[in-house]
Amino acid sequence: MGAYVKLLEYDNIDGMILLSELSRRRIRSIQKLIRVGRNEVVVVLRVDKEKGYIDLSKRRVSPEDIIRCEERYNKSKIVHSIMRHVAEKTQTPIESLYETIGWPLNKKYGHSLDAFKLSITNPDIWTDIKFPSDAVAEELKSYIGKKLTPQPTKVRADIEVTCFGYEGIDAIKAALRTAEARNTSETQVKCRLVSPPLYVLTNTCLDKNAGIARLEEAILDVRTSIEAAGGNLVVKMAPKAVTESDDAELQALMEKRERENAEVSGDESVSESDDNIPETLAQLTHHLHNPSHPSSPHPSPKLPTPTQQTASPMATTPRSIWSSLYRRRPPSSPSISPPTFLRSFSRYLIGFATWLPPLIWFNAHVAELTFMRGQSMYPFLNPHYHESTRQDLCLVWKRGVREGLRRGMVVVFRNPSDPKKMSVKRVVGLEGDVVRTKAPYPYEWVAVPEGHVWVEGDGEKSRDSNYYGPISMRLLTGQVTHVVSPWERAGRVRWWEHPERGGVNKAR
């Protein structure tokens, strides 16, 4: 017994991994250990040439061997794709290409792919190779140049540079310039400002490891320079290769910081009504003390006689006029805009949210509305089950469900076979009763133990206590007390009018 496989490196010949050679640990699930279509690294145990059997082992392969084997296999796939392309273009047998090019390079450089990559920068690789024809040599070199030319890799590091010393920003500029001091034609380190004090160092190179090492050197130079000036450097993101999505996130962050740092001036504008306040106050004070002055634009009003005064004397005092002046709204002040839809919606949403926890608590511990599904209580509930898809909507009372239980009550409980499901049945027997059972219960009579009840459905097809026996009262979650819908049947559930089931010897 085992798993049949095909050896990819040997022209897909059949092999077999014995069940004992699948894993060192105890096998709990074969499906999780072996999946159809997945590549695995195995080692050959035995080969029977007469019968053609190849026994393989998966558990005897170490993790290091798996990494090396997968790397060699992936390299060989790339080399084979190159050889196949050249063979098709030049009409040359692929085996002759391996004999004259591939296998000699394997012996000399360890793998043909390494030699192909090296030939891009060092053409001397082909000195000892005898090509079948000039067309093969030209096609192979051009295709290697297209397929294996390394793509530049972008490496990035995020740093925070601060300096609160005397030199301040000048010290930060000088420290960041040291990151670019060692730039060469191959490695170019660039420093960009996101928003103070966050800066980004980037480097684009062909070798990722060399780019990471160059950025680490640049960070060390910046740290040395800024600490000498009394500043500090914190690496927020260590040097690593980034993709286009990372660059897009960085650009979005820079735009966000730019918007946040933009100057928004709101203190420079002066309203028109504020310009003339001092002059107005001076003129008003002058008119109050000299109401008959010729320069007054308004004639002096005559004071009413004591019998003609209808307003309070304080209405003409300077205090009341000053109060009215300050109480007056400037003409240029904007009017209060009516509440927007978002404000109104937010207010209603907050009001609803304050009622949500009490509603959840009420639904979980007091009462809830539940649709009755199925035909286990037919025809007492869902009397139109065989005529339509309409279901009864009932009120389930949850407080004190285990108190005052009576035979004939309709209760809701968690199904003992699947506690995630809720069932609706009728209480037939209470604790201490002896109930005559129905099929498929194995015994004809059963005594209901303490703390349990015997429940059955009214319908013919009902999975109840005759399947799983008496249920614990702790599984009860509510009593069906009222029918809410349909309207013609709305009202209290009159369980006491239901005829009692025979075959129950009551304990009390």
* Integer CA distances (angstroms), 112 to 79, 85, 116, 291, in order: 7, 15, 6, 110
Choose, from 376, 423, 462, 465, the residue flagged as catalytic: 376
Amino acid at 293: H
Residue 345, both tokens: 């919606």
Long-range contacts of 40-47 (CB under 8 A, 24+ apart): 40/5, 41/65, 41/66, 41/69, 41/70, 42/5, 42/15, 42/17, 44/15, 45/21
Strand ranges for 98-197 from DSSP E: 153-162, 189-195
Residue 223 CA to residue 178 CA, distance in Å, equals 10
Question: What does the DSSP 8-state code read for residue 411?
Answer: E
Q: Please report where in the chains the tokens 């703390």 appear, as a residue.
A: 451
Residue 376 among the catalytic residues: yes
How many other C-beta atoms can be found within 10 angstroms of the C-beta atom of residue 243? 10
Contact 381, 394 (CB under 8 A): yes
What is the separation, in whole angstroms, between the first and last Cα of the chain? 63
Strand ranges for 415-458 from DSSP E: 422-429, 434-436, 445-447, 452-456
Contacts of residue 377, defined as CB under 8 A and 6 or more positions apart, other chains included, come to 410, 424, 425, 426, 457, 458, 459, 462
Residue 126, both tokens: 């082909």
Residue 244 CA to residue 229 CA, distance in Å, equals 36
Contact 402, 380 (CB under 8 A): no
How many other C-beta atoms can be found within 10 angstroms of the C-beta atom of residue 139? 20
Backbone angles phi, psi at 212, to 5 degrees: -65, -45
Choose, from 117, 425, 462, 465, the residue flagged as catalytic: 425
Q: Which residues are catalytic?
A: 376, 425
